[in-house]
Amino acid sequence: MSDDMMNSGPLNQGHPAHETEFEHEDLGTRGIFAFMIGLVVSGVVIYFIIVGMYSFLDKYERSQMTTASPLVSSSGVMERVMTQDDVDKLFKENGAPMLETNERGQFRDFLMDQEDQLNSYGWVDEKAGVAHIPIERAMELTVQRGLPVYPQSGADVNATASKAAVVKPTGKGKGSAK
């Protein structure tokens, strides 16, 4: 079909032909590129303004900053390990509590002391006859002797007596060692 027929078909009889048109004045590429270039230029300018502002504020803060503690020197990095002479010199006359001189070493020594106590024999209270024993030995004794059974309230007296007969008391106090 020709364009004339389509425009003057049965629906358009007696009416002048209407052509479908579009707007010829769309947004040009020049405006889009100008906006994008302006956006990039303003982003770069803002970036340099912010970098300059932060560098200025950082320099200002460093110049105005005072040492937080009189024990910290501003010239070097603070070390975690101090010798006993350093501690004595710093705290000799001011009466302040003593600082830990070697945190990691002291903690390691504490853990090793605890481990030695858990795996050795020794007295907790010698006058009362209370001693500590190694964990392995305590588990062996528990297996040999069993756990103590105490009667429950309201239970049959004969049943609790037979259960109590299973447990063999050793005659030693609670927590005592052989």
Q: What is the pLDDT of residues 65-111, one digit of tens each?
A: 766 666 655 555 555 667 777 777 777 767 666 667 778 888 999 99
Q: What is the pLDDT of residue 72?
A: 59
Q: What is the pLDDT of residue 88?
A: 74
pLDDT tier for residue 173 given thresholds of 50, 70 and 90: very low
Q: Is 122 strand, coil or helix?
A: strand
Q: How does pLDDT run across 37-55, given as a tens digit for each residue?
A: 999 999 999 999 999 999 9
Q: First and final CA of the chain: distance in angstroms?
A: 117
Which of the four pLDDT bands, split at 50, 70 and 90, describes residue 165?
A: very low
Confidence of residue 4 (pLDDT cuts 50, 70, 90): low
Q: Which of 11-20, 91-100, 118-127, 131-140 has the lowest mean pLDDT?
A: 11-20
CA 67, 73, 79, 85 dihedral sign is negative
Q: How confident is residue 34, by pLDDT bands cut at 50, 70 and 90?
A: very high
**Residue 10 to residue 92: CA distance in whole angstroms:** 113
Highest mean pLDDT among 32-36, 41-45, 59-63, 119-123: 41-45
Count of beta carbons in the 10 Å neighbourhood of residue 76: 7
pLDDT confidence of residue 176: 43
Task: Give phi and psi for 38, each to the nearest 5.
Answer: -65, -40
| Dist CA 177 CA 129 (whole Å) | 9
What's the average model confidence in pLDDT over 4-14? 52
117 φ/ψ angles, rounded to the nearest 5 degrees: -65, -40
High-pLDDT (> 70) share of the chain, %: 61
Query: Alpha helix locations (H) across the chain?
Result: 3-7, 29-64, 84-91, 103-118, 135-145, 157-166
Confidence band, pLDDT 50/70/90 cuts, at residue 154: low
Give the per-residue pLDDT at 159: 53
